[in-house]
Amino acid sequence: MKAAAPRDPKTHCRLFGYLVAYLSSIYGHRSGVLTRMRVKEVQDAIGDSEKGYLINLMEHKTVRKFGVAQVYLESDEYGWCREWLCLRLPSLPQNSYFFTSFGRGEPKDLIKYFRQAWGEMGLPGSPSLTDIRSAVATYNLETNHSEAVHLLKHNTPTSDAVEKVILSFGINDRNRGNTSLLDDSLRRLYSAAKATFPNALVHIPVINASRDLDNI
């Protein structure tokens, strides 16, 4: 990247494809979340080199319902972003988007760049970011378990080929004394996963709570 010409579109697009593939595979965000990510949001990330950095993203489709989207990066990962911001500055100083076009607007072909990177990595098929989103989804189990069940039952294609499904949830409710609702939510999610992936081993990892939290 450093050796490329300042406005070399081929190198820029290749970088965008790999970075979008990386972030989408971890977080499953909608394409619009990454397309509209701003330079200032990356620069204003909360954290440090020891704890990592949290980027808050304000411009996305469901911000009113779910609030800001977030991307957590470890120090070296955040370093990639800072290096790109330094490299882009001489040639694209007026564009406020992290993933840029060569004008002032947001990039229009991130899906294309993502698919090119996917192919270069030797991975099969030509997925969209929606396909990745179906595989990596984050929900608050306490308030959105019905949406997670709906995603599994109605928005995810049934497949006999899937061998493993991991349902991993973080739960932080110090005041919950009755776990019956939680148990029911997990049972419904397990049943939905088994119906969609009938031959898969559905695994719910042991949830380790901080010792600083009250017992429930």
> Residue 78: which residues within 8 A CB-CB, separation 6 or more?
45, 47, 52, 53
Average pLDDT over residues 128-138: 67
Give the pLDDT score at 59.
74
Give the pLDDT score at 53.
92
Instruction: State whether the Cα torsion 76-78-81-82 is positive or negative.
Output: negative
pLDDT (tens digit per residue) in 6-61: 556 788 888 899 999 998 888 777 778 888 889 999 999 999 988 899 998 887 66
Mean model confidence pLDDT for the chain: 77
The end-to-end CA distance of the chain, in Å, is 51
Does 216 have pLDDT greater than 50? Answer: no
> Residue 181: which residues within 8 A CB-CB, separation 6 or more?
none
- In whole angstroms, give the CA distance from residue 116 to residue 102: 19
Give the pLDDT score at 81.
92
Cα angle for residues 49, 11, 52 (degrees, 5° grid):
10
pLDDT (tens digit per residue) in 161-181: 778 787 776 555 555 555 676
Query: Phi and psi dihedrals of 208, rounded to 5?
Result: -95, 115
Average pLDDT over residues 178-189: 75
Percent share of the chain, pLDDT over 90 = 16
Write out the two tokens for 130: 């929606």
Q: Is the pTM for the entire model greater than 0.95?
A: no
- In whole angstroms, give the CA distance from residue 81 to residue 79: 5
